[in-house]
Chain A
Amino acid sequence: MENVVDQIGELLVRLQSADFYERERAVKELSQRDEDEAVAGLVLALEDRDLGIRELAADHLTRMKGATAAQLLIRFLGHDDIGSRNLASEILVRIGSSAVAELVSNLNDDDHDIRKFIVDTLGLIGDRSAVGPLTASLNDDNVNVVCSAAEALGEIGSGLAVPHLIAAIENSEDARLPAVEALGKIGSPQALPVLSDLLENHDAVLQYAVIEAIGRIGEPDSVGRLAVCLENGEHLIAEAALTAIIRIQARRRGNPDTDLPLDRFLGFLLDGMRNGNPEVTEFMLSRLKAWHTDEVLSGLLGIVDHLNDSTLKQVTDILVDIGMPAGRYVVEKIIDSPSGLKLKLLDVIKAFICDDLVDSLLPLADDADAEVRQKLAHVMGLCGCRRMIPLLKQLARDPIGHVRAAALSAMGWLGDENEVDFLFTGLDDPYPDVREAATGALIIIGTTKVVAKFNADLYHHDMERQRLAVSALGWIGESEVVEPLLNALNHPDAGIRRLAINSLSRLSNVERLEPIVMALNDEDTAVQKAAVTALVALRGTDAVSDIRVLLEDGDVWVRYHTIGAIGELGEERYTDMISPYLNDEMDIIRIAAIKALTQMGSTQVLPDLERMRSEKNVDLAKAADAALSTLGGKRDGTPFDSGR
């Protein structure tokens, strides 16, 4: 076997091969070894002419995380080729804390460029053990190293660096800017006195950085000092001060208690809201209740289509609190806005539309955008103002179906009994959603006239109108609908008869039940079943004497349904009526009987159920098993719960 040195030597030779794949294999094999020579080989591969090889070597070096790799890579920080330098730095950062000791031990390198790269790399690694050595670098002879040291200390964010950074501000004019920025990132209030003094500095760039640092530190006491900067003639400085104040107040999570001259910053704040800046948005929302000049409201309404739903809701709530002045602004703004904004503003105005505002919206009835007209109809309906009926009637004749539907719905919400005839014309509309809207509106109005017209519609030549009429009568649900629905039980269409019975079953004031009892003998089984359900709903156990006849009906599903309806009553006294069906020739009836007897809590059928557990029909056996499980509990003294 060859010795280790020879093996690695061979791999190093292969690293020089002209063949890409040969070099790639060499890198992979080197990465399997842990000898320092192998690591050195990988470092050499960082200079390969092919990017793929360089990245492969870098990847393996990163995973090694060893001191040897760090030591070798540091030499690359002084490489002539900037790409190699950056790659070495990147690998060192990826190696992380394991590279810190090697980097620190090279902080006194003769080459100031290497020192600077080392300092930068330590900052990017962010390991706190580098803070001490980096504070020493604040006194480096080379100004670039000093500045990089300040930046690195800011990145690491240790409070231990604060006195050193303050000293650097006082000792080195060049270091001031990065030191101020670093103090901001560290966020220690200990830095505030020196930063406050620097606010007087006339260097705008430094002043900007100082303001930003004070904002990052976030002490509430700084707001007063920053407020002075709001008057600064330099717009960027003033805006930085406001941003810092906003940041401080966002941290406090409370209402601002300082009176700030904000008018100058309206555009800046609105931009922040429009761009979704959460701190600016929160600040604006906190100020709006007290700060809603014409310019503010106008500007705010101009950006509502950029706000998310949550913010829009909060803005709307504030506008509602402000009341009529805000409402007038919204209305004025809507008229000349583009479509998207109009729709958003119509959503806003919904919250406080009233008699006094609604007239100003009338021009929107002729808006080119159908969605605007549709939303306008909703707003009109919400305002509850009946003098809008003519406008809604105009919209109910709109060429677009959605608009007509919205207008008819809104007329229903207004509940004007005088418009019943007009609403009935909506039932002839070619679009189903318009017909549904007209029906809904008529249901809300629900007067005697509406009932009479729907009653007449039960014999309309159009079958859909007949069905719609019987359903509508049911939804209206007033005492006037009982007779028309009972009469509908003689309707030639079985569907109408069934719907009429379903509607009757929900009413509490049906005194004449004979027509429903008669329907138990209807030629249509669906009608028969509906009659069973309705009689049980209306009469409870008193219905049993009428419906029991259907236990012998010729249709299996009528029998099934009747057994189920009696079971639903949950009365054990009907056990003898239902238990014979445990032996019915049809399994489906036997299953219905099992379920019904379970609902009744009929323990006397337990022996039958026990026997049925061994039935060949799996569904039947399962039903018996489930019933035994439920009824067994009752027999054992546990309170019975049929699950009803």
Chain B
Amino acid sequence: MDIELRELTGTVVMDLAGRLDLASGSNLKDEVKKLFVRDITNIHFNLARVEFINSSGLGSLVSIMKEVRLKKGRLTLSNLAGYVQEIFDITQLSHIFEIYPTEEEALASYQPVPQA
């Protein structure tokens, strides 16, 4: 799996591409831990180019989400392709992850909401 990082103000976007399984899930967890060392806890995964996730991949995402929560950060996901969205729905993980249709919408959620 390819992982590309883009650092924005207050948030890091990780573009994931390929298959998310045991090995790539482990790599992903390592990358996130590196961010924690730098006190970065607001993380967005853009999954537009993720074509496959298996049980281990899901487990990695759940594990990362728990770590982010412990650090009082936020993990958001966007651009879930059909297959990935389907497995999130089947496992009900869509209830516990913050999932946005687009990266823009996800990043906007990190901004404070102005009052009317």
Q: A residues engaging B (CB < 8 A)?
A: 250, 278-279, 281-282, 285, 310, 313-314, 320, 323, 352, 354, 378, 381-382, 384, 409, 412-413, 415, 436-437, 439-441, 443-446, 475-478, 506, 508
In the assembled complex, which residues on chain B have CB atoms less than 8 Å from the CB atom of A476? 54-55
Q: B residues engaging A (CB < 8 A)?
A: 19, 21-22, 52-56, 58-59, 62, 66, 69-70, 72, 83, 87, 90-93, 95-96, 112-113, 115-116
CB <8 Å contact, B95 and A440: no
Complexed CA–CA distance, A508 and B57 (Å): 14
In the assembled complex, which residues on chain B have CB atoms less than 8 Å from the CB atom of A506? 52, 83
Residue of B nearest to A280 (CB): B115
In the assembled complex, which residues on chain A have CB atoms less than 8 Å from the CB atom of B59? 415, 444, 446
CB <8 Å contact, B115 and A278: yes
In the assembled complex, which residues on chain B have CB atoms less than 8 Å from the CB atom of A352? 69, 72
Closest chain-B Cβ to A137's Cβ sits at a distance in Å of 39
CB <8 Å contact, A443 and B66: no
Complexed CA–CA distance, A278 and B115 (Å): 6
Complexed CA–CA distance, A44 and B91 (Å): 79
Given contacts A378-B95, A413-B96, A415-B62, contact A314 B112 (CB under 8 A): yes
CB <8 Å contact, A282 and B72: no
In the assembled complex, which residues on chain A have CB atoms less than 8 Å from the CB atom of B112? 314
Complexed CA–CA distance, A310 and B109 (Å): 11
Complexed CA–CA distance, A384 and B65 (Å): 10
Complexed CA–CA distance, A506 and B57 (Å): 14
Most buried by B among A323, A378, A443: A443
Closest chain-A Cβ to B58's Cβ sits at a distance in Å of 5
CB <8 Å contact, A413 and B113: no
Closest CB pairs A-B (n = 4): A446-B55, A477-B54, A440-B91, A409-B92
Residue of B nearest to A285 (CB): B115
Given contacts A278-B116, A314-B112, A444-B62, contact A477 B92 (CB under 8 A): no
Closest chain-B Cβ to A302's Cβ sits at a distance in Å of 21
In the assembled complex, which residues on chain B have CB atoms less than 8 Å from the CB atom of A320? 72
Complexed CA–CA distance, A279 and B114 (Å): 11
**Of B55, B69, B90, B113, which is within 8 A of A439 by CB?**
B90
Complexed CA–CA distance, A413 and B62 (Å): 7
In the assembled complex, which residues on chain B have CB atoms less than 8 Å from the CB atom of A444? 55, 58-59, 62, 91, 93
**Of B52, B70, B95, which is within 8 A of A477 by CB?**
B52
In the assembled complex, which residues on chain A have CB atoms less than 8 Å from the CB atom of B56? 446, 478
Complexed CA–CA distance, A579 and B53 (Å): 38
CB <8 Å contact, A443 and B87: yes
Q: List 12 A-B contacts (CB under 8 A).
A: A278-B115, A310-B113, A409-B91, A409-B92, A443-B58, A444-B55, A445-B55, A475-B87, A476-B55, A477-B54, A478-B22, A508-B19
Closest chain-A Cβ to B67's Cβ sits at a distance in Å of 9
CB <8 Å contact, B70 and A354: yes
CB <8 Å contact, B54 and A409: no
In the assembled complex, which residues on chain A have CB atoms less than 8 Å from the CB atom of B92? 409, 412-413, 437, 440
